């Protein structure tokens, strides 16, 4: 005899709230090499290669692509993989290839092209990258005109004048793909790790011949923000670790990571909330806590540090105040929110101050003695 029963949910009703997965943070280690050796691609639009053996098996041991990837895979540490994309050089400009790739793989961070680009191609690609969402364009040049302070001779002078800090250039007269090694090292940073941020000055480029540089050449490069790899006394190293225009590469990389991380962390807070985050001071405090979490990541990875704030005053932070935590996050009271913003459910703006830790690149030492 079968005995029917009532469901236990009549007494204890348990329901599972599914936790949605929000947009992941961007990977700021993704370097793509555009190659005009397009035969291996067939139906694939993008190849992900983990080592030099895979490159040579795909493109051939003596291919130009294998020559270009060798400096990347010789570097240590480096990103876990390299992306290789097709560049149909006969019908597409570098600018068009960058745009085409971004349509189906938008989250790449840095790009390098196989071969020697014309000045026009360099300028067009650089302008496209500047207008894109947090991307870098890398190039090696052996042209001595490119380190002249003359916009008619040097595309880098033209880019400096336009304040385009999205180009990383390396002057090397013998190694056409030296920038691949530079970027492999620069993009190896794991922002989730402790004390992991770096400066590119002083770094080595394994497998790249060290350039013989005159002081005049070095000064020309430095004035434009073009990097070079040479001996200082008997030590081989990169100098100065900048993007074109003179901003330091690591600062551009760090701030790209930080902007993306703050955006994704705040969005995840809104997206994951099982109930609404109220448009109240208690609600904005939840968003401030999300920003604070990313700021603390910046302290942990070495990007930010304590110090004096030299920027404009806002909130309770005045110019000249000390950032004891290395950051300050401020949001005005919801009581002061305009009616139109309240009707649109728009939070008061959140303002953030962070103190970049920078890096020591040079030092003056005074020695005194007495007889």
Matching residue, tokens 């939070």: 347
Segments of 193-270 assigned E as strands: 227-232, 235-239
Predicted confidence pLDDT, tens digits, the chain (371 residues): 678 888 888 888 888 777 788 889 999 999 999 999 999 998 778 999 999 999 999 999 999 999 999 999 999 999 999 999 999 999 999 999 999 999 999 999 999 999 999 999 999 999 999 999 899 999 999 999 999 999 999 999 999 999 999 999 999 999 999 999 999 999 999 999 999 999 999 999 999 999 999 999 999 999 999 999 999 999 999 999 999 999 999 999 999 999 999 999 999 999 999 899 999 999 999 999 999 999 999 999 999 999 999 999 999 999 999 999 999 999 999 999 999 999 999 999 999 999 999 999 999 999 999 99
Q: How far is CA 79 from CA 51, 137, 181, 320, in A?
A: 11, 17, 11, 39
Residues 202 and 348 in one domain: no
- C-alpha–C-alpha distance, residues 181 and 162, integer Å: 27
Q: Identify the pLDDT of residue 1.
A: 64
Residues 158 and 283 in one domain: no
Residues 227 and 319 in one domain: no
Identify the domain containing residue 280 by its residue range.
Answer: 273-354
Tell me the β-bridge partners of 229. Answer: 238
- C-alpha–C-alpha distance, residues 151 and 22, integer Å: 45
Matching residue, tokens 């620069």: 186
- Mark which of 218, 252, 286 sits at the end of a domain: 252
Segments of the chain assigned E as strands: 31-35, 47-49, 82-86, 110-113, 136-141, 167-171, 227-232, 235-239, 307-308, 322-323, 327-331, 350-354
Q: Identify the pLDDT of residue 8.
A: 85
Count of the separate structural domains present in the chain = 2
- C-alpha–C-alpha distance, residues 184 and 137, integer Å: 13
Question: What DSSP element (H or E) covers 46?
Answer: none
Considering the entire predicted model, what is its pTM? 0.94
Residues 36 and 164 in one domain: yes
pLDDT tens column, 130-150: 999 899 999 999 999 999 999
What secondary structure does DSSP assign to 69-120, as a single string? HHHHHHSSS--S-EEEEE--TTT--HHHHHHHHHHH-TT--EEEESSPPPHH
Residues 75 and 196 in one domain: yes
Taking the chain, what is the end-to-end CA distance rounded to the nearest angstrom?
113
């Amino acid at each position: 005899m079968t005995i029917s029963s009532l469901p236990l949910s009549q007494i204890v009703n348990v329901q599972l709230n599914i936790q949605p997965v929000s947009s992941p943070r961007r990977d700021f280690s993704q370097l793509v090499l555009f190659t005009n050796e397009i035969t291996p691609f067939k139906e694939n639009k993008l190849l992900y290669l983990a080592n030099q053996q895979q490159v040579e098996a795909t493109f051939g041991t003596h291919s130009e692509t294998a020559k270009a990837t060798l400096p990347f895979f010789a570097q240590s540490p480096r990103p876990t993989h390299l992306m290789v994309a097709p560049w149909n050089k006969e019908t597409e400009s570098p600018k068009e290839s960058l745009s085409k790739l971004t349509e189906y793989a938008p989250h790449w961070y840095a790009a390098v092209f196989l071969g020697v680009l014309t000045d026009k191609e360099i300028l067009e690609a650089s302008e496209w990258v500047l207008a894109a969402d947090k991307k870098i364009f890398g190039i090696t040049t052996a042209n001595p005109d490119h380190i002249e302070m003359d916009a008619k001779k040097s595309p880098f002078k033209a880019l400096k004048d336009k304040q385009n800090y999205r180009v990383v250039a390396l002057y090397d007269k013998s190694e056409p793909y030296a920038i691949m090694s530079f970027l492999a090292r620069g993009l190896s940073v794991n922002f989730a790790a402790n004390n992991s941020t770096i400066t590119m000055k002083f770094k080595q480029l394994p497998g790249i011949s060290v350039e013989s540089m005159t002081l005049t050449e070095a000064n020309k490069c430095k004035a434009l923000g073009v990097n070079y790899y040479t001996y200082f006394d008997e030590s081989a190293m990169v100098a100065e670790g900048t993007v074109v225009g003179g901003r330091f590469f690591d600062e551009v990389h760090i701030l790209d990571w930080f902007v993306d991380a703050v955006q994704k962390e705040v969005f995840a807070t809104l997206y994951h909330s099982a109930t609404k985050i109220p448009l109240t001071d208690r609600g904005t405090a939840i968003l401030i806590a999300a920003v604070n979490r990313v700021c603390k990541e910046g302290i942990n990875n070495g990007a930010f540090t304590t110090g004096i704030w030299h920027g404009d005053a806002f909130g309770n932070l005045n110019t000249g105040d000390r950032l004891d935590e290395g950051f300050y996050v401020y949001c005005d009271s919801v009581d002061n929110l305009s009616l139109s913003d309240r009707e649109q459910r728009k939070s008061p703006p959140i303002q953030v101050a962070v103190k970049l830790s920078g890096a020591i690149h040079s030092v003056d030492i005074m020695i005194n003695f007495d007889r």
